[in-house]
Structure 1
Amino acid sequence: MRTLRFLLQKEFRQIFRNRAIVTLIFVMPVMQFLVMPLAADYEVRNINLAVVDNDHSPYSQKLISKVIASGYFKLTGYNDSYKDAFKLIEADKADLILEIPHGFERNLIREDKQKLFLAVNAINGTKANLGGAYLGSIIGDFNADIRMQLVQQPRFSQFPVIEIVASNWFNPVLNYKVFIVPGILAILVTMIGGFLAALNIVKEKEIGTIEQINVTPIKKHIFILGKLIPFWVLANIVFTIGLILARLIYGIVPIGSLLVLYIFIAIYLLTVLGFGLLVSTFCDTQQQAMFIMFFFMMIFILLGGLFTSIDSMPDWAKLITRFNPVRYMIEVMRMVILKGSGFRDILPHLAAVSAMAVFLNGWAVLNYKKTN
């Protein structure tokens, strides 16, 4: 233990002596945590809409006014022909085209039906799907309003009507920040722990101090622990700062137990740091370590369930996510913070990251060779 204590003193002195590393550890995550939840907005607004009104009737004007008044659409073109409106899509000035045909009001009143044409620019698939869905919902509401005005009360069917009332659990107002902030905090803690651990041993190799350590009687597992513990402590501090900022700025208070959350983060950080140390044992330069960690971090983040639901992924991708520690971290963060899940609920996730921690740290110890 005395040897480990001296190693930890050396590591902490090296960390706080380098102002760039201190800035990387504390300032950058805070700035990212303040900016990213505001920029990563899942709500699609300001959808550019071009309208081709071939009817020019009061009903067509009411429909256009209702669409614009929804707040989701911005009228960028009021054209006389579909050809003119399509030029706006080609110039990337419109996302959707709504064409109202001749006789829209007459057919709606006399024949009780009328078709509308909707063209969607599907280059941005997410914006196209949501924009088309929003517009379809608004047109449906408009149709219901017109039906209430035209159909007299005695003509309504007397059959029973089923009414559906939705209740949103865990995020009642559907605030996207409540959903995205825990995931972003998980990503930031992962990047801080993983990248710094990956650069640690490699830095010793580049400056030549690894040679002095190798000739000492320090055991390999003691050396790995001396490299792992400082960043484990610092990552926990960053995580705590993130929880405080989430409460002060975004008003997100964990419903579940903080003890459960910290127990999981303690094991999870062992996994991430062990992976970073394992990468550093294979690399000879910091540039190599950075590129390898960047490669794996991209996979971890994109297959972690932060931006894309894991359930919607193909089967081969779902299989890969079982070996992705970030996936378990994001799920536990949302389970504990939003749902109030307890220790028993996160046991499968805790078992998975514990197995990864043992495997990765064991491999790092075995792979580190005290030879020139």
Structure 2
Amino acid sequence: MRVLFFLLQKEFKQIFRDKALLPMIFLAPIIQLLVMPLAADYEIKNINIAIVDHEHSTYSQKLINKITASGYFVLSDYDNSFNGAFEQIESDKADLILEIPKNFEKDLSREGSQKLFIAVNAINGTKANLGGAYLARIIADFNAEIRLDWRQQSIASNTQIIEIVPSNWYNPLLNYSYFMVPGILATLVTMIAVYMCALNIVKEKEIGTIEQINVTPIKKIYFILGKLIPFWIIGNVVFTVGLFIVAHLIYGIVPLGSVLLLYGYLAVFLVVILGIGLLISTYSETQQQAMSLAFFCMMVFMLMGGLFTPIESMPEWAKIIANLNPVTYFIEVMRMVVLKGSQFADLKKHFLIMFGFALFFNTWAVLNYKKTN
């Protein structure tokens, strides 16, 4: 144990001596956690819409006002010609076209129905789908308002109406940052642990000090623990700063569940991630190789971990990869504990899976690490 103490002392001195490494460990995650939730917004706003109004009636003006007042659409063009509006799409000044036909109000009042034409620029599929869905919903609401106005007060009073009152659990205000910040924090902790652990060991190879350590009587297990424990502690510090300073003070996020439960899961998760970093270092001879492998792993962790895309919407082959991704479970646990207040009984499966990952990756890394006594 005395040998381990000296190794840890050496590692911390080596880490804090590197002036370029400290901002990367502590400052970069804070800046990323401040900026990324603001950019990763699931809501599509400022959708440019060109409206072709052949009617210029009271109803058409009410519909246009309802669309522009929704907060999702910006009126980029108001024209009498579809060709003119289509030029707006061709020049990327408009995302949708809404064409209101002649006699819109007259036919709607007389026949009880009327058709509107919507053209969507589908180059950006996500924006097209959501923009079209928003517009269809606004038109449906407008239609319901018109039907209600047509009813006589006496008839309307006797009509049975089903009222829907939504109740949003866990995130009542539908604040997207409450959903994104826990997931981004989990990803940033993963990034720091993987990169720092892998690069630290490979750096020893490049400067030649690992050869000196290999010929000493230091046991392999002590050497590996000396490399893993400092970054395990740093991972906890980064997580604490992100959870209690950035998430709480900046975004007002307060975990509904047990903070100790979060740290318990984090402790096991960091063992898994540091094992992956150690495994990368055993296959790398230079820091460039380690960074390339770590970058590949991080891209898989981020894109297949459910941070931006729900796992349920992925194809079956992608779901298999996601289920083999440790970050998937940590992001899920973060959201469950922070937003839902889940308890240990709800996370038993997640703990067992993470223990399995820890045993697998660290055993692989230790067996693959060659040390000569």
**Same fold at TM > 0.5:** yes
Task: Please tell me whether residue 81 in structure 1 is matched to residue 81 in structure 2.
Answer: yes
Q: Distance in 2 between matches of 1:155 and 1:254?
A: 50
Q: Mapping of 1:332-347 within 5 angstroms?
A: 332-347=333-348
Q: Distance in 2 between matches of 1:371 and 1:288?
A: 23
Which residue of 2 is the match for residue 361 of structure 1? 362
- 1:153 CA displacement: 2.8
Q: Distance in 1 between matches of 2:133 and 2:311?
A: 23
Could you say what secondary structure the match of 1:344 adopts?
helix
Matched to 2:277, the amino acid is G
Which residue of 2 is the match for residue 264 of structure 1? 265
Matched to 1:99, the amino acid is E
Matched to 2:46, the amino acid is N
Paired residues of 1:200 and 1:277 also in contact (CA < 8 A): no
Task: Please tell me whether residue 34 in structure 1 is matched to residue 34 in structure 2.
Answer: yes
Task: Please tell me whether residue 307 in structure 1 is matched to residue 327 in structure 2.
Answer: no
Could you say what secondary structure the match of 1:76 adopts?
strand
Matched to 2:368, the amino acid is N
CA deviations 1:52-92 (Å, max 9, x no partner) are 11112221111111111111110001122222211111111
For the aligned residues, what is the CA RMSD? 1.4
Which residue of 2 is the match for residue 350 of structure 1? 351
CA deviations 1:215-272 (Å, max 9, x no partner) are 1011111111110000000010000001112111111000100111000000000000
Which residue of 2 is the match for residue 292 of structure 1? 293
- 1:142 CA displacement: 1.3
Gap change, CA 1:145 and 1:86, over 3 Å in 2: same
Which residue of 2 is the match for residue 283 of structure 1? 284
Could you say what secondary structure the match of 1:171 adopts?
coil
Q: Mapping of 1:131-146 within 5 angstroms?
A: 131-146=131-146
- 1:155 CA displacement: 4.5
Residue range with higher mean Cα deviation, 62-71 or 329-338: 62-71
- TM-score for the superposition, normalised by structure 2: 0.97
Which residue of 2 is the match for residue 254 of structure 1? 255
Matched to 1:325, the amino acid is P
- 1:161 CA displacement: 3.2
Task: Please tell me whether residue 17 in structure 1 is matched to residue 17 in structure 2.
Answer: yes
- 1:157 CA displacement: 9.3
Count of matched residue pairs: 372
Q: Distance in 2 between matches of 1:124 and 1:186?
A: 29
Which residue of 1 is the match for residue 224 of structure 2? 224
- 1:144 CA displacement: 1.8
Paired residues of 1:283 and 1:289 also in contact (CA < 8 A): yes
Paired residues of 1:186 and 1:330 also in contact (CA < 8 A): yes
Matched to 1:211, the amino acid is E
- 1:156 CA displacement: 4.6
Unaligned segments of structure 2, at least 5 residues: none
- 1:137 CA displacement: 1.4
- TM-score for the superposition, normalised by structure 1: 0.97
Which residue of 2 is the match for residue 240 of structure 1? 240
Could you say what secondary structure the match of 1:118 adopts?
strand
- 1:366 CA displacement: 0.9
Q: Mapping of 1:152-231 within 5 angstroms?
A: 152-156=152-156, 160-231=160-231
Which residue of 1 is the match for residue 120 of structure 2? 120
Paired residues of 1:52 and 1:98 also in contact (CA < 8 A): yes
Paired residues of 1:50 and 1:75 also in contact (CA < 8 A): yes
CA deviations 1:107-141 (Å, max 9, x no partner) are 01111110101111112122112111111111112
Q: Distance in 1 between matches of 2:283 and 2:142?
A: 64
CA deviations 1:277-334 (Å, max 9, x no partner) are 1000110000001011111110111010110000111111111111100100000000
Identity in percent: 66
- 1:148 CA displacement: 2.3
Unaligned segments of structure 1, at least 5 residues: none
Which residue of 2 is the match for residue 129 of structure 1? 129
- 1:335 CA displacement: 0.4
Which residue of 2 is the match for residue 323 of structure 1? 324
Could you say what secondary structure the match of 1:149 adopts?
helix
